[in-house]
A and B are shown apart, each in its own frame.
Chain A
Amino acid sequence: MKHVGYGIIVLLALALQTGSPGLVILGFRPELLLLFSLIFAMLEQPGGAAGFGFVSGLLQDLIVGQFIGLYAGTYLLMAILVGFVTKRLYRENLLVRFSAIFVGTALGQMLYLLGAASFGFSSPWSWITWSAILGTGLFNGLIGVLVYRPLVAINRHLIYLDELLKRTG
């Protein structure tokens, strides 16, 4: 049940992100799948979060059609990193949540660009690139603060349904 729920979340996030005109704030496109990967990294065990990051990144890769595997690898690494760091911090604090998502998103974007550059993608590291990295990080952070609690509630509900199904067969 939990996996079905996660699947629906990924599908909706991807449709929202890629559906035209899409979710664009001040010219920047928040990375919803990376955002959900980071939030689940704060909620789940490292293995589960890494799996979620990898699968959602791979689904995004299949839509982009170039450098297939790069988003998967990036999201997986970011989920592990943010999960590892936030396990040692007080995640209920708004600032901690915002900072974790902001840093995770910005690092993820840089990692993706570095990875793509090493396979021939030419992206000048100009102020436009930096503003896109910081802008996406900022919007992801703000959206993350807003959707964290509803996602915690959904996650709890899905875990409860899983338990219920296990016990009732």
Chain B
Amino acid sequence: MLDRLLRWKVPLIILLVLILVGTIHYTSVPRREISKLEGLWRDMLSPFQWTVSKVGGFFQNQVAEINRWRGLKERNDELEERVVQLEAEVFTLRNYRRENEWLREALDFRDEGNHALLVAEVIGRSPSNWESTIVVNKGQSHGVVSGMAVVTNAGIVGTVINSSSYTSTVLLIVDAQSATGGLVQSSGDLVLVEGGQMDQGTLLARPLSRDTSVEVGDVIVTSGLSRIYPKNLPIGEVVAVESRQYDLSFAAVVQPFVDFTRLEYVLIVMPQGES
């Protein structure tokens, strides 16, 4: 009996291990297209994810509402002060904008901020701690393909890595596999913004040249060199600068402007004419 079992089980286990190693190896590199089975399973799960998302969002909003009410008085004073400051700033910015438009026209610049945007709802997240991805409710049937940039009004979110008919998976900029070209807004120095800080939710900006200077409080924006993100989209603010022990270089810790734990809606940057 044991012999017979072993005769069948051992080759079966070897076959299973070989198949698993094969599929792991095949899917270890980023793929632009996902298999039909993956697409079908994701589309099947998306209504359940949407339901959980709605219920979870409801409770999260209730908690946020209670917290908001607590500090309403203090917040009101702060906001009134801020309104006065912002009104003055808006006045100055209007002048800059008019000047900028005039200069753009003069230099025949293309307005790179004018992109078609597709609104998508966040319905899912990566199931484990090792990947930082979100699932949105727009897919191939809406014209979404891998490589498209995903943003919010606060800043950049990530890139579409694959999509099924009705859903797309977005690799967040905080993921270990994400690297985005950025520049320091104040100096214009180029940096490479990488994820991988896991639960801390921060990014690391590494300088691309020896002369790069970054200080706490500097704002990092997209450089526009990667051709994924439009130029000058906000990424985050430098909160610390860490020097490397055996290196003349340094790395700046960047706090993203986007709160990835509270993402509800995102904007997918579509090619011109598709929205």
Q: Footprint of B on A, CB under 8 Å?
A: 11-12, 14-22, 24, 27-29, 31, 33, 59-60, 62-70, 72-73, 109, 112-113, 115-116, 119-124, 128-129, 131-132, 135-136
Contact = CB atoms under 8 A, between A and B. Distances in A.
Given A21-B261, A29-B129, A123-B130, A131 B199 contact: yes
| Interface residue range, chain B | 35 or more
A20 B131 contact: no
B127 interface: yes
B19 interface: yes
Given A15-B51, A128-B200, A132-B198, A20 B134 contact: yes
Nearest to B21: A69
Given A62-B38, A63-B45, A115-B24, A15 B52 contact: yes
Contact of B20 (A24, A66, A69): A69
Contacts of A131: 199
A133 B56 CA distance: 25
B110 interface: no
Interface string B107-126: 00000000000000011111
B127 A33 contact: yes
Contacts of B200: 128
Contact of B56 (A19, A59, A60): A19
Contact of B199 (A22, A28, A64, A70): A28
Contacts of A19: 48-53, 56, 123-125
B20 A72 contact: yes
19 contacts: A14-B45, A15-B49, A18-B125, A18-B135, A19-B51, A19-B125, A20-B134, A20-B135, A21-B261, A21-B262, A59-B41, A63-B41, A63-B45, A69-B20, A73-B20, A112-B128, A112-B130, A121-B130, A132-B199
Given A20-B52, A62-B38, A66-B131, 20 more contacts: A15-B49, A16-B52, A18-B127, A19-B52, A19-B123, A20-B123, A20-B134, A21-B261, A22-B52, A28-B129, A63-B41, A64-B127, A65-B34, A67-B27, A68-B23, A68-B38, A73-B24, A116-B130, A122-B176, A132-B198
Contacts of B37: 62
Interface string B6-38: 000000000001011111111111110010011
A121 B28 contact: yes
A12 B197 CA distance: 29
Contacts of A12: 48
Contacts of A115: 24
Contacts of B198: 128-129, 132
B56 A64 contact: no
B125 A21 contact: yes
A29 B127 contact: yes
Contacts of B57: 20-21
A84 B148 CA distance: 47
Given A66-B27, A66-B28, A67-B27, A18 B126 contact: yes
Nearest to A63: B127
A136 B129 contact: yes
Contact of A65 (B48, B122, B129, B162): B162
Nearest to B26: A68
A123 B177 CA distance: 10
Given A20-B56, A20-B263, A123-B176, A132 B129 contact: yes
Contacts of A73: 17, 20, 24
Interface in B56-98: 56-57, 60
Nearest to B263: A20
A110 to B, nearest CB: 11
Contacts of A70: 20, 24
A122 B197 CA distance: 12
A13 to B, nearest CB: 9
